[in-house]
Amino acid sequence: MSLAMSEYIEINLIGIVILMTILVSSRKKQGREFREEHKFFITLVTLNIFILFSDICIYLLRGYGDSWMISLNHICCMAYFIMHGWFGYGWFRYVMARMYPRHRAGKTERAILLLPALTNSLITAVSPMTGWIYSLSVTNTYFRGPFIRVSFASSAIYWMLSFIMILQEKARPTKNREESEYLILLFAPVPTIIGNILQMHFYGLSIVWICSAISLLILFINIQNHQMSLDKLTGLFNRGQANAQLIWEVSHLRSSKDLLFVVMLDLDSFKKINDRCGHLAGDEALKMVAEVLKENCRKSDLVCRFGGDEFLLIEHIKSAENAEMIIQRIQNALKKKNENANLAYTVTLSAGYAVYGSGDKVTTDDILNHADHMMYEEKRRKKEGNS
Q: Do residues 269 and 215 share a domain?
A: no
Q: Do residues 77 and 162 share a domain?
A: yes
Q: Do residues 15 and 158 share a domain?
A: yes
Q: For residue 351, give the 3-state DSSP assignment.
A: strand
DSSP letter for 39, please.
H
Q: Do residues 196 and 243 share a domain?
A: no
Distances (CA, A) of 72 to 76, 151, 367: 6, 20, 65
Picking from 174, 206, 227, the residue at the C-terminal end of a domain is 227
State how far the Cα of 81 lies from the Cα of 145, in Å rounded to an integer. Answer: 12
pLDDT-derived band of residue 20, with 50, 70 and 90 as boundaries?
very high
pLDDT-derived band of residue 209, with 50, 70 and 90 as boundaries?
confident
Percent of the chain residues topping a pLDDT of 70:
93
Q: Do residues 58 and 85 share a domain?
A: yes
Q: Which of 17, 8, 15, 21 is nearest to 58 (CA)?
A: 8
Has residue 72 been placed in a domain?
yes
Q: For residue 241, give the 3-state DSSP assignment.
A: helix
Which structural domain range is residue 47 located in?
3-227
Has residue 234 been placed in a domain?
no
Number of domains forming the structure of the chain: 2
**Checking DSSP bridges between strand 259-267 and strand 134-136, what pairing results, if any?**
unpaired
Measured from the Cβ of residue 149, the count of other Cβ atoms closer than 10 Å reads 13
Distances (CA, A) of 264 to 302, 308, 345, 379, 387: 12, 13, 22, 12, 24
Has residue 303 been placed in a domain?
yes
DSSP 226-292: HHTTB-TTT-SB-HHHHHHHHHHHHHTGGG-SSEEEEEEEEETTHHHHHHHH-HHHHHHHHHHHHHH
Q: Average per-residue pLDDT in the chain?
A: 87
Tens of pLDDT along 107-134?
899 899 999 999 999 999 999 999 999 9
Question: Higher-confidence residue: 267 or 195?
Answer: 267
Q: Do residues 22 and 156 share a domain?
A: yes
Domain CATH code at residue 65: 1.20.1070.10
Tens of pLDDT along 281-301?
889 999 999 999 998 988 778
Has residue 11 been placed in a domain?
yes
Domain CATH code at residue 294: 3.30.70.270
Residue 305 bridge partners (DSSP): 311
Q: Do residues 150 and 281 share a domain?
A: no
Q: Which of 62, 55, 45 is nearest to 77 (CA)?
A: 55
* Backbone dihedral angles phi then psi of residue 133, each to the nearest 5 degrees: -95, -40
The torsion of the CA quartet 159, 161, 165, 171, rounded to 10 degrees, works out to 90
Query: What pLDDT score does 359 carry?
Result: 87
Measured from the Cβ of residue 247, the count of other Cβ atoms closer than 10 Å reads 13
pTM for the full predicted model: 0.69
Query: What pLDDT score does 205 carry?
Result: 66
Residue 329 has pLDDT above 80, yes or no: yes
Query: What pLDDT score does 25 carry?
Result: 85
The mean pLDDT of 263-291, rounded to a whole number, is 90
Has residue 232 been placed in a domain?
no
Query: What pLDDT score does 3 carry?
Result: 66
pLDDT-derived band of residue 33, with 50, 70 and 90 as boundaries?
very low
Q: Which of 237, 179, 203 is nearest to 32 (CA)?
A: 237
pLDDT-derived band of residue 102, with 50, 70 and 90 as boundaries?
low
Q: Do residues 219 and 289 share a domain?
A: no
Percent of the chain residues topping a pLDDT of 90:
48
Has residue 233 been placed in a domain?
no
Q: Which helix (H) or strand (E) holds 378?
A: helix 364-386
Has residue 188 been placed in a domain?
yes
- Side-chain half-sphere of 155: how many Cα atoms within 13 Å? 26
The mean pLDDT of 353-382, rounded to a whole number, is 91
Question: Higher-confidence residue: 104 or 353?
Answer: 353
Picking from 173, 193, 227, the residue at the C-terminal end of a domain is 227
Q: Do residues 200 and 342 share a domain?
A: no
**Checking DSSP bridges between strand 349-356 and strand 302-307, what pairing results, if any?**
unpaired
Question: Higher-confidence residue: 60 or 386?
Answer: 60
Q: Do residues 183 and 258 share a domain?
A: no
Q: For residue 111, give the 3-state DSSP assignment.
A: helix
The mean pLDDT of 232-245, rounded to a whole number, is 87
Q: For residue 375, give the 3-state DSSP assignment.
A: helix
The mean pLDDT of 84-100, rounded to a whole number, is 91
Q: Do residues 167 and 43 share a domain?
A: yes
Picking from 227, 255, 285, the residue at the C-terminal end of a domain is 227
Spell out the residues 6+ positions from residue 238 whose beta carbon is closer than 8 angstroms to its own.
229, 230, 231, 304, 305
Burial of 302 (0-12, 13-18, 19+ CB in 10 A): buried
Has residue 198 been placed in a domain?
yes
Confirm if 290 and 230 have CB atoms less than 8 A apart: no
Tens of pLDDT along 292-328?
999 898 877 889 999 899 999 999 998 888 899 999 9
Q: For residue 2, give the 3-state DSSP assignment.
A: coil
pLDDT-derived band of residue 194, with 50, 70 and 90 as boundaries?
confident
Residue 315 bridge partners (DSSP): 261
Q: Do residues 50 and 179 share a domain?
A: yes
